[in-house]
Amino acid sequence: MSPARALPWALLALSLVAHAWMLRPPGGPASSRPTPSPIALTDQSAQPPAPPALPAPSADSPIGHSSLDIRPSAPPSPPSPTATFAAYADILAEALETTEQHQELARVLARWIALDPVAASEWLDRRPDDPRLDLPVAQVANHLTGTADYTLAREWAESIHTPSVRVDALENVLAEQFRAKKITADALRATATRDGLPPDRVLGILNYSRLD
């Protein structure tokens, strides 16, 4: 090719090189790193994922199931009637100074014996021997008579100090025992003589039983 013909081609090549140089990105040569992919758009109406479930506390953990129980506890149980009678009887027995206090103790023990004769008799048995407790002791003897425990009833009746109260309790025991045919007439007379039961009381028991 002649120099005259080659010149236009050289100018064209130089123009293409200059054009390519002008179109290059700024900041130096093109990076060899891969072009990041476009970020995918998310659906804004979708619900966020649920948080992971927490493990349930174990019984050995500081915050166990029992510590999370916020239910109200049951109200305390009221004291038993026996405990109430025992506490009241203790207070009255320590201050037996007036007739009214004596009568109040007798009323308390009478109700207690009717409710729980075993506990009431145990309370009386622990008390020091005291004539002021003769009426409650007679009530225990009468209760035991009603349960047909005549031997124990007679022992309680024999421990009474007041003569009139003692005679009434003994007569009641022997009369019920004789009526139930748990003692003979001769044994009744012997027991009555030993315990100081008057002859007219013994005769009254025998005659009343014959009328049954």
pLDDT tens digits, 108-166: 988 998 889 899 999 999 988 888 889 889 999 999 999 999 999 999 999 999 999 99
Residue 118 lies in a domain: yes
Total structural domains in the chain? 2
Together in a domain, 137 and 196: yes
Q: Which pLDDT does position 88 carry in this prediction?
A: 86
Together in a domain, 110 and 159: no
Together in a domain, 160 and 183: yes
pLDDT one-digit tens code per residue, 71-123: 555 555 555 667 888 898 888 888 777 888 888 888 898 899 888 989 999 99
Residue 86 lies in a domain: yes
Together in a domain, 167 and 115: no
Q: Which domain holds residue 191?
A: 128-212
Of 129, 130, 110, the C-alpha closest to 120 is 110
Together in a domain, 93 and 153: no
User: Residue 107 and residue 145: Cα distance in Å, rounded?
Assistant: 20
Residue 183 lies in a domain: yes
Instruction: Say if residues 169 and 201 touch (Cβ distance below 8 Å).
Output: no
Greatest CA separation for the chain:
179
Residue 69 lies in a domain: no
Together in a domain, 151 and 185: yes
Query: Residue 207 pLDDT > 70, yes or no?
Result: yes
Q: Which pLDDT does position 183 carry in this prediction?
A: 93
- Average pLDDT taken over every residue of the chain: 76
Q: Could you tell me the CA-to-CA distances from 74 to 13, 78, 188, 209 in Å, in that order?
A: 102, 12, 57, 57
Domain edge (last residue) among 93, 123, 153: 123
Q: Which pLDDT does position 27 carry in this prediction?
A: 52
pLDDT category, 208, cuts 50, 70, 90?
confident
Residue 184 lies in a domain: yes
CB proximity list for 86: less than 8 A, separation 6 or greater = 119, 123
Which of 52-56, 92-96, 99-103, 167-171 has the largest mean confidence? 167-171
Together in a domain, 145 and 210: yes
Which one is predicted more confidently, 13 or 111? 111
Residue with the two structure tokens 């009434």 = 168
Q: What is the dihedral of CA 69, 70, 75, 76, to 10 degrees?
A: 50
The one-letter amino acid at 79: P
Together in a domain, 206 and 144: yes
Residue 16 lies in a domain: no
Q: Which pLDDT does position 40 carry in this prediction?
A: 45
Tokens representing 56 are 């349930």
Together in a domain, 104 and 163: no
